[in-house]
Amino acid sequence: MRYDDWGWKPYVPVAERRRKAAREMEKRKKQGHAVSPVSIEGRAIAKTFWGSAWCENLERYSDYANRLPRGRTYVRNGSVVDLQITSGEIHAHVSGSELYKVALKVAPVKKAQWKSICDDCAGAIDSLVELLQGRLSKGVMERICRQSHGLFPSPAEIHLSCSCPDSAGMCKHIAAVLYGIGARFDRQPELLFRLRAVDEAELILNAGEATPLAKQGPAASKLLGGEDLAGIFGLDMAQSAIPDAGSAERKPAKPKRPQKAAAAPEGKRKPRKQAASTQRGKRSASARKSQRPAKK
């Protein structure tokens, strides 16, 4: 590779850089490496809450101000051909006059700082879906994105490294990767929490503690008895209307029916009506006999 009189490599058109980068990325795929390029549609690098908030946070830091414009150009033209975000680390390949390797190390959020964020947001975030989609109140967004005390890292918490010959603390390739991170958060906002080594679920775990009265029953002095209800509503409430638990379980036993007497044998049974009619027949016969005149 030839250099000009100032020690810089000659300019390589964007189309040529992309072709070279595509060949290199294809080689990495064949070797079993995952490749995840950053693709920007339109002029806006990021469109969602998390992506936009990340990019705006970068632009607030004066340390990055003079290098960020070149980085925006690089990320828009597809120069970030691979971007991998893991816990505390970012590895990327950026297409320039050569294919450069960029490595960033991000310090985890301090425990006291993360606890403060969780405490301040407790009860204000209803679900992980709401959190990751950025559908949050203004107060929650300001707390999470607070400069130097929020979830985004400060320049002092990021260690920058690039294989290009630029001796600046942050070259255009690193700037392109930083913007590429914002674009990646558009599609995978949970990566921000992975990068800072925290669990996003902790932001809503204490949501119920913000309203502890919801978990407590009323005090005993606040409870109304039957006589209080009767007086308030003018009802005649019988005490037996509400059986206790013990009486509900114990059912009264049914009275036993008296057992029938054993039936007599069929040969010795005589119907009562037949016996009565026989006696009446004998009495009427004797009466007729007494009324007949005596024979002379």
Return the domain boundaries, the chain: 43-210
User: Sign of the CA dihedral 141, 175, 106, 94?
Assistant: positive
Name the pLDDT band for 63 (thresholds 50, 70, 90).
confident
Of 101 and 287, the one with more pLDDT: 101
Helices (H), 245-295: 245-249, 272-291
Residue 281 dihedral angles phi and psi, to the nearest 5°: -65, -40
The pLDDT value recorded for residue 225 is: 52
More confidently predicted of 205 and 288: 205
Rounded percentage of the chain residues whose pLDDT exceeds 90: 37
Average pLDDT over residues 25-31: 84
Q: How far apart are the first and last CA of the chain?
A: 180
Find the helix packing angle between 68-76 and 172-187, rounded to 10°. Answer: 60
Of residues 43 and 12, more confidently modeled? 43
- Amino acid type, 229: L
pLDDT at residue 157 above 90? yes
How many CA atoms, within 13 angstroms, populate the side-chain half-sphere of residue 21? 27
Half-sphere exposure of 197 (CA within 13 A, CB side): 13
Instruction: Report the pLDDT averaged over residues 72-88.
Output: 93
> Binning pLDDT at 50, 70 and 90, where does residue 29 land?
confident
3-state class (DSSP) for residue 89: strand
Is 139:124 a contact under the CB 8 Å cutoff?
yes
Between 133 and 2, whose confidence is greater? Answer: 133
Res. 62: pLDDT tops 80: no
Tokens of 154: 């400060």
Is residue 120 within 8 A of residue 204, CB to CB? The reply is no
pLDDT, tens digit, 9 for 90 and up, residues 230-283: 554 454 545 444 444 444 445 555 555 655 555 555 554 555 555 545 555 555
Residues in CB range of 145: below 8 A, 6 or more apart: 53, 56, 57, 151, 152
The pTM assigned to this predicted structure is 0.65
β-strand partners of 105: 89, 159
CA dist., res. 163 & res. 171, Å (int): 10
